[in-house]
Amino acid sequence: MNQQTVGTHIDTNGVATISLNRPDKHNAFDDTIIGELHAAFEAVAARNDVRVVVLASQGKNFSAGADLGWMQRMANYDYAHNLQDARALAAMLKALYALPQPTIARVQGAAFGGAVGLVSCCDMAVASNDASFALSEVKIGLVPATISPFVIRAIGERAARRYFVTGERFSAQEAHRLGLVSELAGSATLDERLTDLINHILGNSPQAVRAALELVHAVSGRPISPELVEDTCTRIATIRVSEEGQEGLSAFLNKRSPSWKQD
């Protein structure tokens, strides 16, 4: 990617860090960054050697949401161009939400507007104690439409009704209570807590981790029907006879570390 308003780094453990790198603009995003994020998500999704994806940003703020210049351009767009623009954002968010690897948002400072959507699309989020969040679109006559499916899944309908209509800022502690944030940490220990989560994931079967995420997507929101029960039975039977399933069971029964775990 050019000049890197979005950068991707993959370490030797298979941890991909995708970073917003526009600290002078508080990592606000526009149509260019949306396209770069989408490309970055698709690139890591295609890699079997990537085991964890971290969404992070440079500077003191995670992201201030939409860039002012981009909003000014959108104000002059007609309906068709606004629809096209919204579809690009929605496709990027869906690509993040659907990543086959577990995703962790690393949040510091402000996470406003669309940035709450990015955090909501991740499987987990670690935030600094002084981070703050807002869904402030109504303050400028808009609604958080494209991010709403992911935000409502993350914080629930009741909380969404409040924060979508008040536009008020809420704290990291409130975000944690609502389930938007998984872990809180001091600024000095944020990366330490992030590393702890990453290490928990890396200690598990890579195949099982991906299958577990697929399981959540497959089961969530569905009625407990005979078809769903049969689907879950098929999934556990399939993974039990898989290579990693057999290795994991053998390691457990023989009280040794499985082949994927680094001692």
Rounded Cα distance between 198 and 102, Å, is 9
Give the pLDDT confidence of 176-223 residue by residue, as tens digits.
999 999 999 999 999 999 999 999 999 999 999 999 999 999 999 999
Q: With contact defined as beta carbons under 8 Å apart, do 173 and 183 qualify?
A: no
CA distance 187 to 108: 8
At residue 3, the pLDDT reads 53
The mean pLDDT of the chain is: 94
Query: What's the pLDDT band for 71 if we cut at 50, 70, 90?
Result: confident
Q: What is the 3-state secondary structure (H, E, C) of the chain?
A: CCCCCEEEEECCCCEEEEEECCHHHCCCECHHHHHHHHHHHHHHHCCCCCCEEEEEECCCCCECCECHHHHHHHHCCCHHHHHHHHHHHHHHHHHHHCCCCCEEEEECCEEECHHHHHHHHCCEEEEECCCEEECCHHHHCCCCCCCHHHHHHHHCHHHHHHHHHHCCEEEHHHHHHHCCCCEEECHHHHHHHHHHHHHHHHCCCHHHHHHHHHHHHHHCCCCCCHHHHHHHHHHHHHHHCCHHHHHHHHHHHCCCCCCCCCC
- The fold of the 6-202 domain, in CATH, is 2-enoyl-CoA Hydratase; Chain A, domain 1 (3.90.226)
- 72-106 pLDDT per residue, tens: 888 788 999 889 999 999 999 999 999 999 999 99
CA distance 260 to 263: 10
Model confidence pLDDT, tens digit, residues 130-156: 999 999 999 999 999 999 999 999 999
Residues of the chain with pLDDT > 90: what percent?
Answer: 86
1 pLDDT higher than 50: no
